[in-house]
A and B are shown apart, each in its own frame.
Chain A
Amino acid sequence: SQQGEEDPQALSIQEGENATMNCSYKTSINNLQWYRQNSGRGLVHLILIRSNEREKHSGRLRVTLDTSKKSSSLLITASRAADTASYFCATVASGGTSYGKLTFGQGTILTVHP
């Protein structure tokens, strides 16, 4: 199975509500990243959290990392219709390669209704 599996696969909420997406992975990581993709477009980096960090904020985004459970969560507060997109977590394994090999999950499709 894939490193970086998101849960839920799809999430539908109303504008103003919070959205929480979870990601689980299997191997030790150097860092974990969250990306956003609007339909059929490229990915946009949202936030990076290192293995020695537990929580990180960026605007309305809050990411947590629990390395003991090999899991991460992305919280989007006060969601907007413009947040409608697919959200992916991606991990960079610790050790191993000398370059940035990202391993992606299947993503969570978030729909925010106005």
Chain B
Amino acid sequence: ETGVTQTPRHLVMGMTNKKSLKCEQHLGHNAMYWYKQSAKKPLELMFVYSLEERVENNSVPSRFSPECPNSSHLFLHLHTLQPEDSALYLCASSHFSRLQETQYFGPGTRLLVL
């Protein structure tokens, strides 16, 4: 257990569905991240929130919409996804004051888009 939880762990959705991924950290961190991990590709940073403000949007399509209501919670809202969006979505957190330090990852949500 890293102190970062993600729900659901597995998700199957159609291209017309709307779903949300949830991440919660219990480490007192105030920077949170979304990553996408596809087969045979390096982890891709999608979004970064620092002190609940989005500081990075790494050219992610608008069908992915992040939300950070407070420093402990991070959501990724999904709508009209494509099959190529099927991947493992990982959430991570770190200390704001030590932003270039270790990130703590959740177990991920395995997403399959049909």
- Which residues in A have some Cβ–Cβ distance to B below 8 Å? 2, 4, 30-31, 33, 35, 40-45, 48, 88, 90, 92, 97-107
Known A41-B107, A101-B45; 4 more pairs at CB < 8 Å: A42-B108, A44-B105, A45-B103, A88-B43
Does the CB pair B2–A44 fall under 8 Å?
yes
For residue B50, which residues in chain A have a CB less than 8 angstroms away from its CB? 98-99
For residue A33, which residues in chain B have a CB less than 8 angstroms away from its CB? 102
* A23 nearest CB across to chain B (Å): 12
Q: Which of B89-114 contact A (CB under 8 A)?
A: 90, 92, 94, 98-108, 110
Interface pairs A-B: 9 shortest CB-CB: A42-B105, A104-B43, A100-B99, A43-B105, A99-B99, A42-B107, A45-B102, A92-B100, A104-B42
Q: With A40-B110, A97-B56, A100-B94 known to touch, is A31 a contact of B42 (CB < 8 Å)?
A: no
Q: Which of B33-85 contact A (CB under 8 A)?
A: 33, 40-43, 45, 48, 50, 55-56
Provide the bound-state CA to CA distance between A41 and B110, in Å.
9
A-B contact pairs, 13 of them (CB 8 A): A30-B100, A42-B6, A42-B90, A43-B92, A44-B105, A48-B102, A90-B43, A92-B100, A99-B56, A100-B103, A102-B45, A103-B42, A107-B42
Does the CB pair A42–B56 fall under 8 Å?
no
B21 on the A face (CB < 8 A)? no
For residue B102, which residues in chain A have a CB less than 8 angstroms away from its CB? 33, 45, 48
Residue on A nearest B45 in the bound complex, by CB:
A101
Does the CB pair B42–A2 fall under 8 Å?
yes
